[in-house]
Structure 1
Amino acid sequence: MAEPQAPLTRLLVADDSKVNRQLLARSLELQGHSVECAENGRVALELLRRDTFDLLLLDIEMPEMDGFQVLEQLTGTPQLRDLPVIVTSSLEGMANIVRCIELGAEDYLHKPVNAVLLKARIGASLEKKRLRDQQKELVRRFATSEVAQDLEQSGFALGGRNLRGTVMFSDIRGFTALVESQPPQETIELLNTYYALMFEAINGHGGVVNQMIGDGLMAIFGAPLPLSDHGAAAVRAALGMVEMVERLNAERSGLGKASIRIGVGIATGEMVAGYTGTRQRATYTCIGDTVNLAARLEEHTKTAQRTILIDPATCVSLGGRIPVELLGPVALRGKALPVEVYAVVS
């Protein structure tokens, strides 16, 4: 049985000389690449924005838009700035080479280009791109789409920034007893289903789940990407979570399995959000009194026997759009003064 062939790599050649384009394209096709050509920088950019390529071979001296201008455009375009670029030019001088490298080019080869050297440089550039693509895929797989987007737009840097947002904590009530009453495989299956449903409810309202510990989770609304009306979004997400759990319980009841209940605490206010840890291992999170308050409200759902508890700031943000019930001032662990607590009426 024949082994499946690797997909062709797609290369774009940008050169104003028709002869150079044809010769280079023919040589690259013989090496097993799929090649398209552009007669100047403007056309090359149009093709790059319309289609997907693995590497760009770029001349510098071209009409309408030269190679330097193309490199500047690529650097300023998030979806194109990681595209490998090998400059092939007859321009002499170290200053031109340095400028191309500073603008993001992988390499600079003088014309006439040595075919063996070009093949080696293309191979090395494609391997670097493959590793970068793998890294991006890992980020997309193990981080939320919002965190992945923030990393692509802003890059990675330890530290945080002050912002106003909403924090949610949630966990399953009586989870320890549930774990003791069933096989481990059933517990894993339950958690996988539970988290899939909770992620759907939270992400559907613009929230970002940034921590999962056992049966508990923490979510942020308003970071890393801005979110208007983040307080109401968090409460709507919590109501969606409760509805998801009710549907899950109906299914579990039909299978003769125990129902589950959740408790949700939500607080709105100032916090510091960013990446914490080391450059080798970091996570996106937020810290501050707002975070602590949300955690304490989630704890208090057990005492109050209510599913969703919110603080005054979140209540104000609702503007009466979602019914709530004032439970009165409550002395929460770690808080010097009692906090007015509201229960969301679901």
Structure 2
Amino acid sequence: MAESGARLLVVEDNKVNRLLLARSVEQLGHRVGTAENGRIALDMLREDRWDLVLLDVEMPEMDGFQVMEHMLADRRLRDIPVIVTSALEGLQDAVRCIELGADDYLRKPVNAVLLKARIGSSLEKKRLRDELRLTLRRFATPEVEQHLDESGFALGGRHVHGAVMFTDIRGFTTLSEAIGPQECIELLNAWYALMFDAIGAHGGVVNTMAGDGLMAIFGAPLPLQEPSLCAVRAALDMQEMVKLLNDERSAQGKPPLKIGIGIATGEMIAGYAGTHQRASYTCIGDTVNLAARLEAHTKAIDKGIAVDGATWAAVRERIPMESCGVFTFKGKTVATEVYAA
């Protein structure tokens, strides 16, 4: 069965009830832990992994309502199914339990047949939630996952202040023709792994990958202190990682890689774009367009990193950069002073 071998925590202050309920659960093939009050239960839930909680309502020190309030407020605990077991007969108490996140409500004395059915149903729902979360992790960053968990999904966006980065591999089309599809995929996977590591280490979120290029955001969906500085430091780390990768490639007789990185800082709209069936987290606005133009401009100025004036102003006290002049990029009416590292 899907739920076989699950770990259940029985929370009950009455010792006889606790032992009998634990025995009933063990007879269903599950592993059982017990807690005599809500405070002990919360400690156990935070220290180990549990698949389901059988929770009494009336307990000393901390009752079942308080336990559910704490679980609801804790991202690590809120997805653990809770089946309330109670001798309380009022409809109001059952409603309150459901509002606090309980998956089910069983009256004492607990009927063994109902117990088996409710445990099976709750564990199956947890399995489906876990599979959904695993799928989300494959296609979304931890930051986007956390944002969805805290704020929920809604199409649209909000104004944020942050930094946007674009980067790609120079001459990749020519390179891919020379090395063949299998080696091309392996090279891209290695490059992405290095770039993701450098960007993530400084709080950035990769939200778009296209061929050999990617776009990263610093400051959304979660706020980030000094997003410009984080973006530039990530860019410097990316260059260093490419240098180390090139050392390996050189030893294997392979041509080196060269990347270009463009960074712009400013206001943008961040949020979910698409439809309710298919959407992605992204940013739009002039800052995004400028970062893309700066990345392309690294070829013209023969530099690895190009940033706008707002980014330079935020980092100039800590990271040396040189002015490369003022340029008016395609599609823009206002000239941009470009700085490079």
Cα distance in 2 between the residues matched to 1:337 and 1:226: 28
Establish whether residue 134 from structure 1 lines up as the match of residue 131 from structure 2: yes
Counterpart in the other structure of 1:12: 9
Counterpart in the other structure of 1:311: 308
Counterpart in the other structure of 1:223: 220
Cα distance in 2 between the residues matched to 1:204 and 1:40: 41
Which of 43, 48, 53 matches 1:46?
43
Cα distance in 2 between the residues matched to 1:35 and 1:143: 34
Counterpart in the other structure of 2:175: 178
Q: CA deviation at 1:322?
A: 1.4
| Structure 2 unmatched ranges of 5 or more | none
Cα distance in 2 between the residues matched to 1:7 and 1:236: 49
Cα distance in 2 between the residues matched to 1:307 and 1:301: 6
Which of 192, 196, 207 matches 2:193?
196
| Structure 1 unmatched ranges of 5 or more | none
Counterpart in the other structure of 2:239: 242
Establish whether residue 273 from structure 1 lines up as the match of residue 286 from structure 2: no
Counterpart in the other structure of 2:330: 333
Which of 101, 111, 122 matches 1:114?
111
Return the TM-score normalized by structure 2.
Answer: 0.96
Root mean square deviation, CA, Å: 1.6
Structure 1 stretches of at least 4 aligned residues deviating more than 4 Å after TM superposition: none
Q: CA deviation at 1:166?
A: 0.3
Cα distance in 1 between the residues matched to 2:270 and 2:115: 45
After TM superposition, the structure 1 = structure 2 runs for residues 61-72 of structure 1, keeping only pairs within 5 Å, are: 61-72=58-69
Q: CA deviation at 1:142?
A: 2.2
Cα distance in 1 between the residues matched to 2:152 and 2:3: 31
Q: CA deviation at 1:278?
A: 2.2
Alignment identity in percent? Answer: 65
Q: Deviations over 1:221-266 (max 9, x none)?
A: 1112222121111111111111111111221122222222111110
> Structure 1 counterpart of 2:295, which letter?
E
Counterpart in the other structure of 2:92: 95
Q: Deviations over 1:184-238 (max 9, x none)?
A: 1011011011111111111111111111000000001111222212111111111
> Structure 2 counterpart of 1:281, which letter?
R
Q: CA deviation at 1:101?
A: 0.9
Whether contact under 8 Å (2:3, 2:124) holds in the other structure is no
Cα distance in 2 between the residues matched to 1:256 and 1:51: 50
Cα distance in 1 between the residues matched to 2:94 and 2:85: 10
Counterpart in the other structure of 1:289: 286
Which of 262, 278, 293 matches 2:259?
262
Counterpart in the other structure of 1:33: 30
Q: How many residues align?
A: 340
79-88 vs 241-250, which moves further: 241-250
Counterpart in the other structure of 1:75: 72
Q: Deviations over 1:151-174 (max 9, x none)?
A: 233332222221110000001111
Which of 15, 20, 24 matches 2:21?
24
Q: CA deviation at 1:7?
A: 7.2
Q: CA deviation at 1:312?
A: 0.2
